[in-house]
Amino acid sequence: MQTKIDPSDLGWWFWVVTFLMIAFSLLGWTAGYYLTISLSLVHALFFVEESKNVRDFATQTRLAFFVLTLFGIWPGVRGVVYLLLLAETAMIALFGQSVIARTLKQMSWNQEHPAQ
């Protein structure tokens, strides 16, 4: 697997900063949970504005990630969810691969259906 590090891409920076916020949150910085949620919302809204379409695949990925960050509000599952999100963010920032994107790609609304 080749790395896909691209400091010239704003989207890449969103993922790197998100990774850092999640990492600091897991290390005990409580405000980091709320900053992660806020940054994920900004990231999703940025892509909604860029694509002008919530059905856009990149936008769906950011919206799904944001929804998952909301589990950080619930202390009982915060650690597990944020560990998963930390791994997901690292995979995106370093390799351009996303489990969330792969899952969304399988959803019926993302399947190309032949014209009838």
pLDDT tens for the chain, 116 residues long, are 678 888 888 888 988 999 999 899 889 898 988 999 999 999 999 989 998 988 888 889 999 999 999 987 888 888 888 898 989 888 888 888 888 888 888 888 887 765 55
Contact in structure between 26 and 17 (CB atoms under 8 Å): no
Give the chain's radius of gyration (CA, Å).
Answer: 15
Residue 114: inside a domain: no
Question: How much is the pLDDT for 106?
Answer: 85
Question: How much is the pLDDT for 116?
Answer: 54
| C-alpha to C-alpha distance for 43 and 65, rounded to whole angstroms | 10
Residue 115: inside a domain: no
Residue 52: inside a domain: yes
- Number of domains, the chain: 1
Residue 3: inside a domain: no
| C-alpha to C-alpha distance for 96 and 79, rounded to whole angstroms | 24
The number of helix segments (H) and strand segments (E) in the chain equals: 5, 0
Question: Which string of DSSP letters, residue by residue, matches 5-51?
Answer: --TT-HHHHHHHHHHHHHHHHHTT-THHHHHHHHHHHHHHHHHHHHH
Residue 104: inside a domain: yes
Residue 5: inside a domain: no
Residue 85: inside a domain: yes
- Please state whether the predicted TM-score (pTM) of the whole model is above 0.75: yes
Range of the domain at 84: 10-108
Residue 67: inside a domain: yes
